[in-house]
Copies of this chain bind each other. A is one copy, B any other.
Amino acid sequence: MSDYNALMAFVRETEALSQVAGRLGWDQETMMPDGATPQRAEEHAAMASVLHARHTDPRIGDWLARITPETDVERANLRHLRRSYARTVKVPARLATELARTTSLAHRVWAKARAEEDVQSFLPLLEQVVALRREEAAAVAGDTDPYSALLDDYEPEATGDGIATLFDTMRPRLVALRAAILDRPAPPALDGNFDHAGQLDLARTLALTFGYDLGHGRIDTAVHPFSSGSGLDVRITTRAEATDPFNCIYSTIHEVGHAAYEQNIDRAYLLTPLGAGVSMGVHESQSRIYENQLGRSRAFCGWLYGQMRDRFGDFGVGEEGFWALVNRVSDGFIRTEADEVQYNLHVMLRFDLERALIAGDLAVGDLEAAWNDRFAADFGFAVDKPSNGVLQDVHWSEGLFGYFPTYSLGNVYAGCLHQALRRDVPQLDAALAQGRTAPATDWLRENVQRHGGLYRPAEVITQAAGMAPTAEPLLDYLEAKFGAIYGL
C-alpha cells in the first residue's frame, strides 16, 4: 500500500470513529434516558481519548513527510491533514487534557450561573478557560496573532484583522438601517397558540421542501435545534413552542441548510477530510441562505402563509402582513432571537470583547461591565440581567473563542451567494411562491455543497459568487428588503 493510501485508511477509520462520537452527542440530546448521564460522561471521555490518540499518532507525521500528492483531491486531503496535524502537535497533551476537563466543568457551572443570574460564580472558571485558550493560541500562533490562531480553527485562513476590517465596513450601514427601522411603527407581534403536532408536521414538510433527504437523515425534537453527522447519516432536530411557530419553522429551515450541505457533498469524499463542510463560515452561509434569503423572502412567505392557514386557520394578516411579521425588527437582548439586521451587531460586540480577552487587553473580571457598556452603546438600552447579557451564550464556557465571527461571515457569504443565485436563476421567485426551492438548492449544491472540503473557504465562495466575498451584497439585500417592509 502506498503511503497515501495507508494514511487515508487510517484517516477514514478515524473519521468513522468521529461520526460515532458525534452520534453519541445526538443520542444524548434526543434519546438518552436522564439517569444515564454519569455513564455517558465516561463514554464521551473514552471516545475523546481514542480520538485524541489517533489525531496525535506520530505515524501521521511520518506519512505526511513522505507523501507528494498527485491529484487535486490528494492535494486537498493533504492540505487538511497537514493543517490539523501541525496544529495538534503544537498543543501539549497536558494542555489538551486540561482544556477538556476545564471546559466540561465550566459548561456545567455556566448553566447554573445563568439559571441563577450569578455572574461571579462563573468567573473563576471562565478565567481558567481564557488562560488555557491563550496558552493554546500562543503555542499555535508562534510569532503571529494568537486570536487569529483560534479563529483559524473554525475558519481556515481567516484573521482577526480581516474580520475587524470587514466589520468596520458593515457596522455604519447596519446601524443606520436599524435606526431607520426602529424609527418606524413596528408591525404587531404574532399572537395565538399553535399546536405542537401541527408545527412538527409543518417542520417535516419544510424539511422536504428544502430538499432534506430522510433516507440519509431523520428529524427529532430537542431542547436546542441542531444538525449532526456527515455523509450518509445527517440528522436534524427541531422544537415547537406553542406561542412561537416561527421558531420551529426557521430553526428547521436553518438546520436543513446545514444538513443539506453535508448530505450533498460528493460521495467519493465520504469519511475523508473533504467529506464535511469546509468551515463554520461556509456552513453558516448555507443555513442562513436557506433560512433568510430563501425562507424569509416575500415569494416564499406567500406560500408559507398558505401552509400556516391550512394547519392553524387564518390569522388575518394577508401575505404582505405575514412577510412583515416574519421579518419583524424589534429591540431585544438575545443574539439567537435577533432579526437579520441586528444579528451582526450582536456578533460584533462579542468579537471585540473576546479579541480583547485573548489579547490580554480585557480582564475576565471586567467582562460583565464591558459587555453592559457596549450593549447600551450599541442598542440604546441597558442589559437587565446576566442571562440577557454576558451569560446568554454557551460558547465561552466551552472555550469557543474565535467562533462568533463565523456567524457573520456566514451571513456575508450568503449575501454574495444570493446575489449570484438571483443573477443565474431569474425566475426564482416564481418557484418559491409555489414552495419549490429546487432552483435555489440545486444551484447551491452544484456551486458550493458538492465540493465539501475540496477548496478553501474563500475559494469556494469566490468561485460560486464570481467575486471575492465582501459585505456589500448582504448590506444591499438588507437595505432593499427592510426598506420595502418598513417603507424607508
Contact = CB atoms under 8 A, between A and B. Distances in A.
Contact of A233 (B17, B20, B36, B46): B36
B233 A49 contact: no
A466 B43 CA distance: 39
Contacts of A215: 33-35
Interface stretch (A24-32, A103-111, A476-484): A24-32
A27 to B, nearest CB: 7
A430 interface: no
Contact of A45 (B16, B32, B231): B16
A96 interface: no
Given A23-B27, A46-B16, A40 B233 contact: yes
Nearest to A37: B232
Q: Determine which residue in A13, A32, A232 has the highest number of CB atoms from chain B within 10 A of its CB, and name it.
A: A232
Interface residues of A, number: 39
A38 interface: yes
Number of this chain's copies in the complex: 2
A231 B39 contact: yes
Nearest to A41: B16
Contacts of A319: none
A270 B218 contact: no
A211 to B, nearest CB: 14
Contacts of A27: 23, 27
A113 B474 CA distance: 59
Contacts of A270: 39
A37 B36 CA distance: 27
Nearest to A215: B35
A33 B220 CA distance: 12
Contacts of A14: 46
A47 interface: yes
Given A39-B233, A46-B17, A217 B12 contact: no
Interface string A8-23: 0000111011011001
B36 A232 contact: yes
Given A42-B271, A231-B39, A232-B38, A47 B33 contact: no
B218 A35 contact: no
B271 A216 contact: no
A271 B39 contact: yes
A16 B35 contact: no
A334 interface: no
A213 interface: yes
Contacts of A36: 216, 232-233
Contacts of A235: 33
A12 to B, nearest CB: 7
8 contacts: A14-B46, A17-B43, A27-B27, A33-B217, A33-B233, A35-B215, A35-B233, A39-B232
Interface of A: 12-14, 16-17, 19-20, 23-24, 27, 31-40, 42-43, 45-47, 49-50, 213-218, 231-233, 235, 270-271
Given A20-B47, A31-B218, A39-B271, 13 more contacts: A13-B49, A16-B45, A20-B24, A20-B46, A23-B27, A33-B214, A33-B215, A33-B216, A33-B235, A34-B215, A35-B232, A36-B232, A39-B270
